[in-house]
Amino acid sequence: METIDSKAYLDMDLLRFTTAGSVDDGKSTLIGRLLYDSKSIFEDQMEAIELASTGKGEEQVNLALLTDGLRAEREQGITIDVAYRYFATPKRKFIIADTPGHIQYTRNMVTGASTANLAIILVDARKGMVEQTCRHAFIASLLKIPHIVFCVNKMDLVDYRQEDYEKIKSDLEAFASKLEISDVRFIPISALNGDNVVDRSEKMPWYEGSTLLYTLENVHISSDHNHVDCRFPVQYVVRPQKDEYHDYRGYAGRIAGGVFKKGDQVMVLPSGFTSKIKSIDTLDGELDEAFAPMSVTITLEDEIDVSRGDMIVRENNSPQAEQNLDVMVCWLNPKSLVPNGKYALKHTSKDARCMVKEIKYKVDINTLHRIEDDKEIKMNDIARISLRTTSPLFFDRYDRNRITGSLIMIDEATNETVGACMVI
Amino acid sequence: MNYSLTHLKELEAESIYVLREVAAQFERPALLFSGGKDSIVCFHLARKAFFPGNVPFPLVHVDTGHNFPETIEFRDNLVEKYGAKLIVGSVQKSIDEGKVVEETGYNASRNSLQTVTLLETIENGKFDCAMGGARRDEEKARAKERFFSHRDDFGQWDPKNQRPELWNIFNGRKHMGEHFRSFPISNWTEMDIWQYILHEKIEIPSIYFSHQRECFKRDGVWYAACDFMKRKPEEEVVEKTVRFRTIGDMTCTGAVESTASDLQQIIDEVASTRVTERGSRIDDKRSEAAMEDRKKQGYF
């Protein structure tokens, strides 16, 4: 029997990535390939999809059926909703958000991208860069995914020709240079045959870069969190009804940025009161310091009024505290944005309401040009808008902090999440 | 100092965050507790989330009446040890009241009847959010779940029309009569759970470990011989050395032949098995979309 080294398992880190591409670019096949070649598919899952593939009269086992979990998806052969998949190699543990390429489901791509460290964008080697590719690359850069890997897929269908790959690569490079992406990579692959996915392709000796799996295992992610600006949104106040903790008031939350240390001088927003960190508590004992994205409970030396929605920060490094802010919004709902409309809003642990004061411009995702004459914001549109909130929010620019720089808009009548906003 | 977390610590931090959001956003949340390892880990995470306070919500167990006695004993011990509040919804009671009809035949199971009892327990307790230990790696319909999953006033799930869930901002707003399901350990895998149980020294029911048991074989799966399952004449009872990878009803949970008697051995076994843990659950095998169909109706 194979023995798992539990110590090594405990040392692995976590990479969250998203996959995007147009319909039929082979996303699901690629994920199936990664799971299959890293031996993360079990026999009964394989049997189930073999059975389903033969049932549909397909000759090869359709790896896409592994991720297309909903009945409607399997029937139509498309991915409707974000599907999460998991696999691990001895180096790293992976969470994949497989997002649909279908145009009306772009909101799912935004969803998958919002928590990702890395994005894989698939491009069909026969078609090259298409409108969807631009859209996906733009969304990935808008959501500040730190690493983007363009996989030029279906190389087998262009006879593994280097010139085809180089042409697509230079088109993509030209487009990507217009976006703010810190780390862009390109890999020619065939997801169907496994070329350059896990194993190096023998058919493309001209390609000297890493395989996709090697890239996923080795990309540097520990600096993806902000460890500079201390931000602690208070989520919940712990007040034990126990004799031994009679006067205990603990502020529970997940650190959104920076490093908090016992004894640190801190300030609470919005009150502006200052105090010192008395302790950082966990069930496993007190900690000397805590950093993003840890969940801890902080107690303060002084008895001051702190509740959910407040934020604990360092005195000399405050976020912006404003009622007026400009955001890039990605609209997620079939009902268009209402100019001057009022919406509920959630930002870190804070609830508020807002009014859309101004629609500044929409972005043409293909050319990245500003559209200033058509200001109707429909589903899948991306626009810059100005909001006025009922009470001040404590925020940073999204490119500085993905947690304190993001917020969602909610339709107060339907309670649906309608807008994903990034502070600029 | 290296400011990075291991993947288990990051998953733990994420789950604690979700549990606290539930406690903050809902008035009457509850944790669905089956006595299986996933709900035990959820409870352990809840203790961490609210320490040094008590877990601020009750445990809800939907008792089919066909549980392993070891599971019930474990549940009662845990409740006593941590002073948790337990609410039991009884499928037997739903049957007695004529709200559901017991299945008959050799493969009769109370699994699908649970949904009715579960929804009724949620309604009676006026719970506005029921948390559960479902994981996205378990089953393909569960792979599409949100952390905060909306249910309409009939308790139904509409998988094609889910609210987008961005960053870690959870939208728990709802109208009267609607409720939420929340899944704090969505991103954990079976291996993560076992490694975490080992690392955190979490107690689990004895039937997860290898033991001697009277079993019979049906459709290639070993089942515990019990009064709840009608055996066919050719199904012979033999004593086997087995353990259970998941804990559901005795009628739908198959045993695996195993000598794994401690956590490290279980982990080695899980690592080398080539069948998913739900492979021994006949409730999932009824059709290709069995889980999706049950979930839409309100199954956990």
pLDDT 10s digits, B155-177: 778 777 788 899 999 999 999 88
Q: Which has the minimum average pLDDT: A324-333, B26-35, B285-294?
A: B285-294
Could you give all domains of chain A from N- to C-terminal order, each with its CATH number? 11-218 (3.40.50.300), 231-314 (2.40.30.10), 320-423 (2.40.30.10)
- Phi-psi category of A153—alpha, beta or left, where left has phi over 0 and alpha has psi -120 to 50? beta
With cut-offs at 50, 70 and 90, classify the pLDDT of residue B137. Answer: confident
Which of B65, B276, B165 is closest to A35 using CA atoms? B276
A259 neighbourhood in chain B, CB within 8 Å = 3
N- to C-terminal Cα separation, chain B: 42
| A 136-175 residues inside an 8 A Cβ radius of B | none
State which residues form the domain around B279: 206-285
What are A333-392's pLDDT values in tens digits?
999 999 999 999 999 999 999 999 999 999 987 778 899 999 899 988 899 999 999 999
Q: Which of A250, A348, A416 sits opposite B163 (nearest CB)?
A: A416
A117 in contact with chain B, both atoms CB, cutoff 8 A: no
What are B67-92's pLDDT values in tens digits?
888 999 999 999 999 999 999 988 77
Q: Which of B6, B165, B168 sits opposite A11 (nearest CB)?
A: B6
Residues B116 and B153 in one domain: yes
Residues B182 and B254 in one domain: no
B297 in contact with chain A, both atoms CB, cutoff 8 A: no
Residues B149 and B54 in one domain: yes
B8 neighbourhood in chain A, CB within 8 Å = 10
Angle at CA A35, nearest 5°, toward A32 and A41?
Answer: 100
Q: What is the pLDDT of residue A74?
A: 56
User: Do A223 and A59 contact (CB within 8 A), yes or no?
Assistant: no
Nearest-CA distance B96 → chain A (Å): 34
Nearest-CA distance A225 → chain B (Å): 9
Tokens standing for B252? Answer: 């739908």
Q: Which of A1, A235, A348 sits opposite B272 (nearest CB)?
A: A1
What sign has the CA pseudo-torsion B123, B124, B126, B132? negative
* Position B197 in a domain: no
CB distance B53–A402 less than 8 Å? no
CA distance A81 to A99: 7
**Which residues lie across from A236 on neighbouring strands?**
A252
CA B243 to mean position of chain CA atoms: 17
Top residue of B140, B201, B259 to mutate, by most chain A CBs within 10 Å, is B140
State residue B52 phi and psi, 5-degree precision: -85, 10
Which of A1, A46, A44, A52 is closest to B219 using CA atoms? A44
A12 in contact with chain B, both atoms CB, cutoff 8 A: yes
B264 neighbourhood in chain A, CB within 8 Å = 6
Burial of A297 (0-12, 13-18, 19+ CB in 10 A): buried
| Smallest CA–CA distance from B140 into chain A, residue | A69
| A 28-67 residues inside an 8 A Cβ radius of B | 42-45, 48, 52, 66-67
Burial of B238 (0-12, 13-18, 19+ CB in 10 A): exposed
Helix/strand/coil percent split, chain A, to 5: 20, 35, 45
* Position B1 in a domain: no
Total length of chain A = 424
A252 in contact with chain B, both atoms CB, cutoff 8 A: yes
Q: What is the pLDDT of residue A63?
A: 63
Q: Which of B4, B139, B191 sits opposite A13 (nearest CB)?
A: B4
- Residue A78: half-sphere exposure toward Cβ, Cα within 13 Å: 13
CB distance B169–A408 less than 8 Å? yes
A43 vs B3, more confident? B3
CA distance A209 to A188: 9
Q: Residues with Cβ < 8 Å from A70, sequence gap 6 or more? A: A80, A81, B140, B141, B144, B159, B160, B289, B292
| Residue segments in chain A with a per-residue pLDDT below the cut of 50 | 1-2
Mean pLDDT (chain B) is 86
| Smallest CA–CA distance from B147 into chain A, residue | A84
Based on the structure, what is the number of domains in chain B? 2
CA B84 to mean position of chain CA atoms: 18
CA distance B15 to A182: 30
Reported as type and span, the H/E element at residue B73 is helix B69-82
Residues B40 and B181 in one domain: yes
A2 in contact with chain B, both atoms CB, cutoff 8 A: yes
Q: What is the pLDDT of residue B298?
A: 64
Q: What is the pLDDT of residue B86?
A: 95
Q: What is the CATH number of the domain that holds B11?
A: 3.40.50.620
| Smallest CA–CA distance from A350 into chain B, residue | B169
User: Do A315 and A373 contact (CB within 8 A), yes or no?
Assistant: no
User: Is the bond into A100 cis (omega within 30 degrees of 0)?
Assistant: no
What are B277-287's pLDDT values in tens digits?
655 555 555 55
Residues B167 and B215 in one domain: no
Residues B214 and B129 in one domain: no
Q: What is the pLDDT of residue A1?
A: 40
B7 in contact with chain A, both atoms CB, cutoff 8 A: yes
A238 in contact with chain B, both atoms CB, cutoff 8 A: yes
B165 in contact with chain A, both atoms CB, cutoff 8 A: yes
Q: What is the pLDDT of residue A84?
A: 85
Nearest-CA distance B21 → chain A (Å): 7
The radius of gyration computed from the CA coordinates of chain A, to the nearest angstrom, equals 24
Q: What percent of chain B has pLDDT over 90?
A: 46
Top residue of A31, A75, A219, A236 to mutate, by most chain B CBs within 10 Å, is A236
Residues B25 and B146 in one domain: yes
Q: Over 70: is that where the pLDDT of B191 sits?
A: yes
Q: Reading across the β-sheet that carries B179-182, which strands appear in turn?
A: B86-90, B59-63, B29-32, B129-131, B179-182, B148-151
Helix and strand numbers (H, E) in chain A are 8, 22
CB distance B8–A10 less than 8 Å? yes
Residues B119 and B238 in one domain: no
- The predicted complex's ipTM stands at 0.90
Q: Beta-carbon neighbour count of residue A369 at 10 Å? A: 11
Q: What is the pLDDT of residue B25?
A: 97
Residues B19 and B102 in one domain: yes
* Position B108 in a domain: yes
A242 in contact with chain B, both atoms CB, cutoff 8 A: yes
CA distance A167 to A263: 57
B151 neighbourhood in chain A, CB within 8 Å = none
Q: What is the pLDDT of residue A2?
A: 46
Residues B111 and B183 in one domain: yes
With cut-offs at 50, 70 and 90, classify the pLDDT of residue B122. Answer: confident
A231 in contact with chain B, both atoms CB, cutoff 8 A: no
| B 112-151 residues inside an 8 A Cβ radius of A | 136-137, 139-141, 143-144
B168 neighbourhood in chain A, CB within 8 Å = 115, 254, 403
Residues B138 and B164 in one domain: yes
A420 neighbourhood in chain B, CB within 8 Å = 164, 166
Top residue of A54, A81, A107, A306 to mutate, by most chain B CBs within 10 Å, is A81
CB distance A295–B5 less than 8 Å? no
The radius of gyration computed from the CA coordinates of chain B, to the nearest angstrom, equals 19
Residues B51 and B180 in one domain: yes
Q: What is the mean pLDDT of residues B290-295?
A: 64
